[in-house]
Amino acid sequence: MYKIGVFPLRAMPLHRGHINSIIHAATKAETLYVVLCDNPERTREECVAAGLPVMDAKMRLKWLGIELQGFNHIKTVLLDESDVPRYPFGWEKWSDKLNKLIPHKIDVIFGGEPSYTEGYQKWYPETVYELFDYKRERYPVSGTEVRSHPFRHWEYIPGAARPFFTKKFLNTGTESCGKTTITKYLAKIYYTSWSEELGRYYSARNFGGREDVYSVEDFERIVVLQDEQDKEAIRTANKITFFDSDAVVTQYYLEMYLGVKSSLIDTYIEKYRKEKKFDYILFYEPDVKWVDDGLRFLGEQEVREKNSKKLLEMYKNYGFDNIYIINGNYEERLEKTINFVDRILE
C-alpha cells in the first residue's frame, strides 16, 4: 500500500475506462490525488475539431466530483497547463507544477500510457510509475473516440458527463398542434426522458382550475419550475431528450393573459439562447384539427394561425435560429419528426 498516489488525466471526456483505473489505483494508495490536467487552448481545439461545445476544466472537475463522491481518500485537483509546452516537451515545467500542487512526497504515479515511462523515470526517479490497463482491454475506448462518436460509445460515458452530449429537442407551437402527444410518443419510441409543459396544468394544481387569477409571479414561477424539471430530463436522458415547453412559450401566454412581459422570464430566455439549451427547436404549425381538451380556448383557425405566427416571430426576435417547421396531419408530423431525429442520431 502506497501512502501518496497521483493519477493524472485530462478526461476529455471522462469515461468508464478512467473511472475503472482510478478505482483500482485507489485500492493501492492511502491518499490518491486525481490530477485533472488542462491546457485551455488545446481543450478548445479538440472540442472544435469534434464539433462539440468546449469541455472546460470546471465542467470536467464537476464530472469527477460527482462520480467520485463518497471516497474520502480520493482528492481531485486541477493542474493548469496553459503555460506548459505540449508533450513530449514541457516535462520540467509540468513536474514542477505537480510538485507544488501535491503537498507530499509522491510514492506512485498511476497511468495508462507506456510512452510516459521515460519521462517519469527522469523527473521522478524515486517514484514508481505504475501502468494499468494500457491496452484498454476492459473498456476499449479512448477520449478521442468518445468525442468523435459519443452516441456510438454511449455505454462508456458515465452519468455525470452524459448531459453534455445529450441532444435536446424542443417541441413547440400554439394550442392543439399535437406537440404534447408527439413529445410523449417520441420519448417512448427513443426510450428516453421528456419534460412536460408545467404551465398546462398549473392552474388546476394551484388554484382549482381558474384561468382568471394568474399573476405575473405565477408565470415566473412556472419558468423556474420548468427549468428544474428540464434539468432532470437532461440528467436522465438516453442520448436525446424532448421538451414540451420553454420560457418563450411562457412569455407568450403571459402576454396573452395579462398583456405584459416579465424581465425575469426574458433573463431565462436569453440564458437559454446563449447556452444553446435546445439543439433543435421543432415548431409545429396549427394545421391539424383543433381539439378541446378542457384547457384550451383559442379554437378559431384564423386566431390559431395568427397566434402561431406571433409565437414563431417571438423565437426569431429573441435570436433563436435553430428552428425547423413541422406540419401535416398527425401521422405525417410524427414521421417527419422521427426522420429528423434519426438523421441527428446518425
pTM summary value: 0.88
- DSSP secondary structure of 228-254: HHHHHHHHT-BSEEEES--HHHHHHHH
Which ranges of the chain does DSSP label H, i.e. alpha helix? 16-26, 40-49, 57-67, 91-101, 117-123, 143-148, 162-165, 179-189, 199-207, 216-235, 247-258, 263-275, 301-317, 330-345
Walk along the chain (346 residues) and give the pLDDT tens digit of each residue: 999 999 999 999 999 999 999 999 999 999 999 999 999 999 999 999 999 999 999 999 999 999 999 999 999 999 999 999 998 899 999 999 999 999 899 999 999 888 999 999 999 999 999 988 766 778 889 999 999 999 999 999 999 999 999 999 999 998 777 788 999 999 999 999 999 998 878 888 888 777 788 899 999 999 999 999 999 999 999 999 999 999 999 999 999 999 999 999 999 999 999 999 999 999 999 876 655 555 445 557 777 888 899 999 999 999 999 999 999 988 998 999 999 999 988 8
Grid coordinates representing 173? 407551437
Calculate the alpha carbon distances from 21 to 58, 116, 192 in Å: 21, 16, 29
Order of strands across the sheet with 2-9?
74-80, 29-38, 2-9, 108-111, 128-131
For 121, 233, 290, the CA distances from 237, given in Å and listed in that order, are 44, 6, 31
Phi, psi of 282 (to 5 degrees): -100, 110
Which is nearest to 301 in space by CA: 317, 290, 312, 316? 290
How far is the C-alpha of 239 from the C-alpha of 154, rounded, in Å? 7
> Could you give the C-alpha distances from 139 to 15, 17, 20, 132, 146, in angstroms and in order?
9, 5, 8, 12, 12
